[in-house]
Amino acid sequence: MSRLRTWYKILNGTYDMHSEPVQGLDAFSRWLIATRSVVFVMTVNSAIIGALLYILYAGFSVSLLLPFALVVIGLVSAHAASNLFNDYWDAKHGIDTSKDYFRPAYMPHPSLSGMMTSRSLVSLGFAQLAAMVLVAAYFVELRGPVVLVFAGLGVLCLMLYAGGPLPLKRVGLGEPTVFVVWGPLMVGGTFYVLAGTLPAWVLVASIPYAVSVTTVLFGKHIDKIEYDTKLGVKTVPVLLGEQATKAALKALIVIAYATVVGLVALRFLPVWSLVSLLALPRARQLFHTLSEPRPKEAPPGAIMWPIWYLGYVFSHNRRFGALYVVGLVLSVLLPVYV
């Protein structure tokens, strides 16, 4: 398999982690796996949404390209650092090392798999964090100290998700944190560093995608509910129970679509934003899957088992996010309001 194809499969979530020892992969492939790059699409989408909302607000200029590229680098670096430190803390807290835990079954742990040492894992995490700090410093110089609020809150949320004396994900705050980070902080922060201001309607327009990203964590934690319960990790699904969490997840999906319709009806966004409704068939498939019991054994072709619900939720998120972006692109090109 060529390196480009390997990179594509890792980023697309279709690479079979058991097909080849991670130690035999090239350095960039190992970085992609270690940082869980398959989910970077959510961060990039938040940056794109923030930039398109700015263009809708103030128009396009070639001068936007450099700051936008820096925003993407900064946000992806922060996301990568968070994932690396999460793995470090989960191993340190004995979560990923538990014989009952299923993380190694669907994705190699950076240090526990032998891909790198624990010290290298931390060093790589700090290197990613340093890249984010450099980008933040540039925008502080450009836009002033308010940028520190966005950057500081973002780093605090991402670092405390699994680290610190009381990790957020262990007390039912992981899911709300994801909503805040991938919505107001990433979308709103991107808009602010481009515009130097942040109208309230931008924060409202970040809600549909922020909700969609939050559902991804719901799906992941439903899959892990049995394991997290044994380990005392109190995610929202552990606190609510599986059936109540599934109902809440469905409600969040409805809220995402309803918010898009509301934004268009209130003339916050052009009618093209309704393009995101084309993801409804994928939502219907997700609802059907959530209504069915989880298979007891890995179905044929399953490459990330025991992950089950997460695959369907993530698939919906990618479709919804892509269409929300397309709707905003069309809105920029032809801003037609109701």
Statement: residue 25 has pLDDT above 90: no
Structure tokens at 329: 């692109």
Tell me which of 92-96, 222-226, 235-239, 248-252 is least confident.
Answer: 92-96
Can you tell me the mean pLDDT for 215-236?
91
112-116, 158-162, 301-305, range with greatest mean pLDDT? 158-162
Statement: residue 2 has pLDDT above 90: no
Can you tell me the mean pLDDT for 293-314?
84
How high is the mean pLDDT of the chain?
A: 90
Do you know the residue count of the chain? Answer: 338
CA geometry: angle at 309 spanning 306 and 315, to 5°?
115
What pLDDT is attached to residue 161? 87
Q: How many CA atoms lie within 13 A of 239 on its CB side?
A: 13
Backbone angles phi, psi at 234, to 5 degrees: -90, 75
What pLDDT is attached to residue 327? 97
What pLDDT is attached to residue 300? 81
Q: Decide if 264 contacts 273 (C-beta within 8 A).
A: yes
233-289 pLDDT, tens digit per residue, is 899 999 999 999 999 999 999 999 999 999 999 999 999 999 999 999 999 999 999
Statement: residue 1 has pLDDT above 60: no
Q: Decide if 140 contacts 163 (C-beta within 8 A).
A: no
- Residue in 215, 213, 212, 191 with CA at minimum distance from that of residue 203: 191
- The end-to-end CA distance of the chain, in Å, is 50
Q: Decide if 238 contacts 228 (C-beta within 8 A).
A: yes
Statement: residue 99 has pLDDT above 80: no
Statement: residue 324 has pLDDT above 60: yes
DSSP 3-state assignment of 271?
helix
Gap between the Cα atoms of 107 and 128, Å rounded: 21
What's the pTM value of the predicted model, to 2 decimals?
Answer: 0.93
Q: Decide if 5 contacts 14 (C-beta within 8 A).
A: no
Statement: residue 6 has pLDDT above 80: yes
142-194 pLDDT, tens digit per residue, is 999 999 999 999 989 888 888 877 888 889 999 999 999 999 999 999 999 99
Categorize the per-residue pLDDT at 103 as very low, low, confident or very high, splitting at 50, 70 and 90.
Answer: low
Gap between the Cα atoms of 49 and 51, Å rounded: 5
